[in-house]
Amino acid sequence: MKYWQIATGAEGRNYKSLCLRYGVAFVGGPKNKERMIKEVKAGHVIVLKHGTKELIAVGIVRQDAKEVKDKEWLRDLDGWGADAYCRVNWKLPESIPELELPDRGFTRTTIQLIDDSKIRAAAKRILEEGKSNKSEDEPLNPESIDVDRLVESTVSDRSLHDNLKNRINKIIELAKYYQGLQWGKGNIPRGGEIREHEIRTFLVIPLLLSLGWSEKRLKIELSCKGSRKRVDIACFRNEYKGKPDDCVVVVETKKFISGLDYAKDQALSYKKFFPSCRSIVVTNGYCYKIFEKEGEGKKFRNEPSAYLNLLNPTEKYPLDLQVGGACDALEWLLPNKYA
């Protein structure tokens, strides 16, 4: 019997909850895809891991691995798409004390056969003694929408329409170019990392301006009083006059390659400096997650209120159809939302 280790993300991405929730394991990238489809078969054992030290679950593969084709939730994980997956019956190690793993832990490889005797022994023990994981049905595919519909169904000010459509199309063109530089897609050779300052300058700020925010209502890398922290972008209800209480939106930008799983916690650390903030926005330049305040206590939601992927806009969030999609997210980015 073959034993595999499969990783659950890197670069601000953590997919362990998705793997457990839907009873799957998945990988991305041409080489990982090829290996998984060719070699991972029903009856094999998968050890699900994060980083080099965390063993999340162990499971038996239910069916041979296959290519991801029509599963939208696997094709849009904060802009990153899985290429191959398999279904797995997971067992959890939470009730098993003193599992012995090698000091060096796991390798950093996304998918790899396991030869280490300690890891294999721990996996066998979890399969025998671990708690069975209950999985859910996978989410259905949300409806896709185009840029025209995105703008026309969201923005009531007709004077903004043409400029906004043109700007979004330019952002899409630039984001695809960045994808080529980052991953060598299309006819563009790999050309290095796209960092946060480029994301803010060429992707995020142009979108905010085209939505109607004026330069006088935006502050970039605004210092938090009494702290060394700086907010990437602070959006104000009125023209900025040095009063942080007037900030209504905080935008946290990440590298182009990054997921958005951890960015929310970083952004929430700024909320005490901006008590009037109503929305936290986290973005890698083309994917946006919006977290809004809700309820009597006016606390920020743990789950996103809306999600927008400019390269693949959909009616609802592909990972959770109860969460708003592109139109809802764009509406939360409009300045008149906070008038």
Residue in the structure block whose two tokens are 């959006």: 235
**Which pLDDT score is estimated for 11?**
67
Half-sphere exposure in the Cβ direction for 59 (13 Å, CA): 28
pLDDT at 70: 85
**Quick check: 97 and 125 in contact, CB under 8 A?**
no
| Predicted pLDDT of residue 183 | 67
Q: Distance between CA atoms of 321 and 317, rounded to whole angstroms?
A: 6
260 phi-psi bin (left φ>0, alpha ψ -120 to 50, beta other): alpha
Annotated domain spans of the chain: 3-132, 147-338
**What's the token pair of residue 327?**
């139109």
pLDDT of residue 173: 96
Question: Is 3-132 assigned to CATH 3.10.590.10?
Answer: yes
| Tokens matching residue 329 | 């997210």
The answer to whether residues 178 and 284 touch, using CB atoms and an 8 Å cutoff, is: no
Q: Which amino acid is at 324?
A: G
Distances (CA, A) of 37 to 44, 93, 318: 13, 27, 24
Report the Cα 227 to chain-centroid distance in Å: 28
Q: How does pLDDT run along the chain (339 residues), one tens digit per residue? A: 899 999 998 767 889 999 999 999 999 988 999 999 999 999 999 999 999 989 999 999 999 999 998 899 999 998 888 999 999 999 999 878 778 888 888 999 999 999 999 999 999 999 999 999 999 999 999 999 999 999 999 888 888 899 999 999 999 999 999 988 876 665 555 666 788 999 999 999 999 999 999 999 999 999 888 778 899 999 999 999 988 889 999 999 998 888 887 767 777 788 788 888 999 999 999 999 999 987 555 788 888 999 999 999 999 999 999 999 999 999 999 999 998
* CATH of span 147-338: 3.90.1570.30
List, in sequence order, the alpha helices (H) in 130-258. Answer: 147-152, 158-183, 196-199, 205-210
Taking the mean position of all CA atoms in its chain, how far away is CA 19?
14
Distance, CA of 6 to CA of 36 (rounded, Å): 10
Secondary structure (DSSP) of 219-260: EEEEEPTTSS-EEEEEEESSS--S-GGGEEEEEEE--TT--S
pTM (2 decimals)?
A: 0.89
Q: Please give the Cα distance from 27 to 136 (Å, whole number).
A: 20
